Chains A and B, each alone.
Chain A
């Protein structure tokens, strides 16, 4: 079933990306995109016995991830709608349930509180409806685990655009990493001093990094934190004021667009700060920035071509290797008769490659 993971993720991200562009958390907007994409048809097509159930289970597990941090509130609302849509469109009977893990409960709770406070009635209504329909399993983990150790573990990538950027710096610079950086830096200074011509004094020619890197980084992060908290408070204050004068009106007046602006400002600020703090990462930050303004997210969520594939392509284009060289050679003999080759091709055709 794992071969369905990449296309399923791509489809979900396509839907959520379109939802993100509406700059709204309204269910109506979501449903319109869902219908336009004919998303219910994701369950169509003949599947053997158990396959239908396993597929439902898989897609619910994938959609569940968008309902959790580190995604933005808007994407999480989209994730919730996605779960709701998938739960109702699935063809298995009785329906497969959405697995809610105990460790994620806190986030769900917080999400609900946020939605209530911002008077997003549709978000709250749909969440409550899923509860009353008994659409959840209250489970230990989001999926069954059976010690499936893989040689090449699948990486969990979060689509950049869906990321709630406000937590990024916090995630990046924890007290652990800070300590690690300080340790590495201390060691670095020592090594520099050791190789220097004047013992105990590092060569000024290789003075490339601020001596008090750790302390500076820490204070910068703290300053950013404070700034962030303050803006957060200011934003909440604005919201409260808005909420008091109009009942349902505020929920229509899109809170999330102001949030998006805010996130954008945090984004630009946070990049500015980090770039100042560490010069060595500048090129990486620049990359991030350009990617964030790139219009098509689908291409970015894709993995780069593997080294093996690149080498193969290069060899092929240079003409130094012929196609047949790259065809698999059976290990127990180095040559192959014409007949075998034909047989090999035929066999290749027969088995379906995912």
Chain B
């Protein structure tokens, strides 16, 4: 319990701007501060037997065990029930004439909803919930893969790049949970972005060739930027230091010096960051994602405890997909221009309709047009 002077330590996260972001602190140091103040049983995944707890309480407080039993009865959660246990209560219904203001607000909304012809539950919420619930309390098959007690779990929001017009006003994002001991590259590999799937080139003469060239395999460079440091992905020989240009530009413009480090050598525990503060993830040369650490905490026994499932995707924004101009059913895979057969220019097609319309049964091109592979923003839904 060395908590006395804890708040004079720089690695205790405090607000820089209330409710917005914290001051910078070292993640690993923050972890050791919690571990110094707590006893291992506080964050253990196991329960301490109740008898042991009670005996400890009696001893520390200097009271007989009868007093503890009495306390237990007085403080039991049953004392919170206004209705007898056996009374069957529909908890989906707000009680009549509620005195609580919160309930009056909810009732107002419920009454309003009943006036609607159909109740459209936001699909966004529905699926977000599903992802979160799926992983809760999961245990690994191999006990070796169990998340250790006292491991840090960081929540990271990766925002979609503002390359699409419709992302301008909302902030759609994916949320991942990563472990403090994981490397930055593990998060990078988990992030899915359509620009990694982009195929460049015109393929109207050889449509079967297209899917072989995915950008992710071609352009492997990427970096994270946190607190003045560029963390470059240099795992492969063809990786380039994307931050170089920025560093040089900054030098000539009298910016404070930035530093570089290797993404593959850095674990989250080694980072210095602010919670709530916008940082950057850049890949494919210019696909930029804002990255925000929204939370850091010790792992809990109700968390997903299978290490192999981390980075764990806990939230994903679902994007409205653009459908094929012919069937209005399937997600578009091709985009054509200068297309005599198309109702507009450019025009989107699914793979089946595209081939049916533009090639004869022998696979020969009909008419004049240019065709480019198209990856929809909602391809990951």
Contacts and interface: CB of A to CB of B under 8 A. Distances in A.
Contact of A8 (B102, B125, B294): B102
Contacts of A37: 99-100
Interface in A2-28: 3-4, 6-8, 10-11, 27-28
Nearest to B11: A102
Interface string B65-85: 001100110110101111000
Contacts of A128: 53, 57
A31 B250 CA distance: 62
Q: Which of A38, A53, A131, A352 has the most CB of B within 10 A?
A: A38
Given A27-B74, A145-B295, A352-B112, A4 B22 contact: no
Contact of B81 (A40, A91, A140, A149): A40
Contact of B53 (A34, A103, A132): A132
A51 B125 contact: yes
Interface string B227-244: 000000000000000000
A97 B302 CA distance: 10
Given A116-B61, A145-B276, A88 B77 contact: yes
Contacts of A43: 91
B169 interface: no
Nearest to A10: B101
Contact of B298 (A124, A132, A137): A137
Contacts of B41: 132
Given A4-B105, A248-B67, A147 B61 contact: no
Contacts of B42: 131, 136, 138
B300 A97 contact: yes
A354 B105 contact: yes
B185 interface: no
B55 interface: no
Interface string A172-192: 000000000000000000000
Given A8-B102, A103-B13, A128-B53, A134 B75 contact: no
Contacts of B372: none
B157 interface: yes
A39 B98 CA distance: 10
Contacts of A101: 13
A148 interface: yes
A247 interface: yes
A129 B302 CA distance: 17
A73 to B, nearest CB: 18
Contacts of B118: none
B103 A145 contact: no
A94 B101 contact: no
B6 A148 contact: no
B30 to A, nearest CB: 6
B122 interface: yes
Given A125-B71, A139-B296, A40 B155 contact: no
A50 B128 contact: yes
B63 interface: yes
B92 A46 contact: yes
Nearest to B39: A131
B19 interface: yes
B278 interface: yes
B105 A7 contact: yes
B305 interface: no
Contact of B98 (A41, A91, A103, A145): A41
Nearest to A86: B80
B121 interface: yes
Contact of A145 (B22, B91, B104): B22
Contacts of B15: 141
Interface in B1-53: 1, 3-4, 6-7, 12-15, 18-22, 25, 30, 33-34, 37-38, 41-43, 47-48, 50, 53
Contact of A42 (B103, B275, B295): B103
Contacts of A53: 129, 132
A242 interface: no
A306 B380 CA distance: 46
B292 interface: yes
Contact of B100 (A11, A48, A139): A11
A99 interface: yes
B310 interface: no
A141 B22 contact: yes
Interface string A81-125: 000110011010011010101110110010000001001011011
A46 B109 CA distance: 10
Nearest to B102: A7
Nearest to B49: A132
A140 B22 contact: yes
Name which of A36, A148, A154 has the most chain B CB atoms within 10 A of its CB.
Answer: A148
B106 interface: yes
A49 B121 contact: yes
A41 to B, nearest CB: 5
Contacts of A116: 60-61
Contacts of A332: none
B163 interface: no
A45 B80 contact: no
Contact of B102 (A11, A34, A134): A11
B91 A91 contact: yes
Contacts of B14: 103
B297 interface: yes
A156 interface: yes
Contacts of A333: none
B75 A139 contact: no
Given A49-B121, A103-B13, A139-B295, A85 B80 contact: yes
A63 to B, nearest CB: 12
A105 B37 CA distance: 9
Contacts of A198: none
Contacts of B295: 139-141, 144-145
27 contacts: A39-B100, A41-B82, A41-B94, A41-B95, A45-B93, A45-B103, A47-B106, A48-B122, A49-B125, A49-B129, A49-B130, A84-B77, A89-B80, A97-B300, A103-B6, A122-B75, A128-B53, A132-B53, A138-B34, A138-B42, A139-B297, A145-B19, A145-B20, A145-B276, A145-B294, A148-B20, A352-B112
Given A125-B68, A137-B298, 13 more contacts: A38-B100, A41-B100, A48-B125, A85-B80, A116-B61, A121-B61, A124-B61, A138-B297, A138-B298, A139-B297, A144-B155, A145-B276, A147-B278
Top 10 A-B residue pairs of the complex, sorted by shortest distance between their CB atoms: A145-B276, A7-B101, A139-B297, A50-B129, A88-B77, A45-B94, A31-B79, A49-B129, A140-B13, A138-B298
